[in-house]
Amino acid sequence: MNPLTSFDRIYVINLASRSDRRIEMQTQLERVGLSLDRAPVSLFPALRPASPGDFPSIGARGCFGSHLGALKAAAAEGCERILILEDDLDFSPAGLAAIETALRALQDQPWGMFYGGYRLDRALPLDAPIQQVAPTDVIGTTHFVGLSAPWIGIAAEYLEAMLGRPAGDPRGGPMHVDGAYSWLRAAHPELRTWVATPQLGDQRPSRTDIHDLRWYDRWPVVRDLAQAARRLRRRH
């Protein structure tokens, strides 16, 4: 059995306006035997707020809210195990070879969070398909994140509480969602977090939804050429 189908839900976060990413994500899912139109995959509509509020940018607020929305939906459904994938995920060649072994190893461990792709400020050994990280390790990026119960609901409540505080609040206020997950893990050292070694997926070079657009991503014709160049760069 495909170990990815052992998750109750695999949420793919995608803005309605980013049909380019939906198409590319469908291609990625097919590489691991999944599809956007077949369970357990569920396309989750990303948020695009009108203003950044206390967040660093509109995109950061939208990304935070989208992850929170997926967590709340999963908690409401009583999900035991979920993956949250962002629509710029690319499964790496090494990841495609390792994904089945990594996820089966995860099933054999007590776990609360799992990162299939990440940024970490230290090198990890590659002597096992997954490695446990410390609560104090700051993990960057959220393009491939898994959570299990009861941490799905706990994470939803933790992020929801952050929304009610001002930026810079010592208890944690609005911030990038990868920072919010790291705050959650630091606040709950009992939350066992594992990461894949090697990483299973990278972030695809793509027009950003989080930061201000570069000039070549604002004009339709030039934007399309820039996106074609990104695809070509990924092939080499």
Res. 216: pLDDT tops 50: no
Q: Per residue in 5-56, pLDDT tens?
A: 999 999 999 999 999 999 999 999 999 999 999 999 999 999 999 999 999 9
DSSP code of 119? B
Cβ atoms of 168 and 132 within 8 Å: the answer is no
Q: Where are the domains of the chain?
A: 3-204, 212-236
Q: Distance between CA 191 and CA 112 in Å, rounded? A: 5
Looking at the domain 3-204, which fold is it? Answer: Spore Coat Polysaccharide Biosynthesis Protein SpsA; Chain A (3.90.550)
Residue 177's nearest CA partner among 196, 192, 197, 162 is 162
CB atoms within 10 A of CB 124: 18
Backbone torsions φ then ψ of 202, nearest 5 degrees:
-110, 175
Q: Per residue in 159-204, pLDDT tens?
A: 999 999 999 999 999 999 999 999 999 999 999 999 999 999 999 8
Backbone torsions φ then ψ of 115, nearest 5 degrees:
-115, 120
Q: Is 68 left (phi over 0), alpha (psi -120 to 50) or beta?
A: alpha
Q: Span 99-126, mean pLDDT?
A: 97
Q: Is 53 left (phi over 0), alpha (psi -120 to 50) or beta?
A: left
Written as one letter, the residue type at 208 is T
Token pair 């710029």 is found at: 88
Written as one letter, the residue type at 187 is A
pLDDT > 70 fraction of the chain, expressed in percent and rounded: 87
Give the pLDDT of residue 219.
58
Q: Distance between CA 161 and CA 60 in Å, rounded? A: 17
Task: Read off the tokens for 78.
Answer: 């009583």
Helix (H, G, I), strand (E, B) or coil at 82: strand
* Helical residues (DSSP H) of the chain, grouped into ranges: 19-31, 58-77, 93-107, 151-163, 177-187, 220-234
Model confidence at 211, pLDDT cuts 50, 70, 90, reads: very low
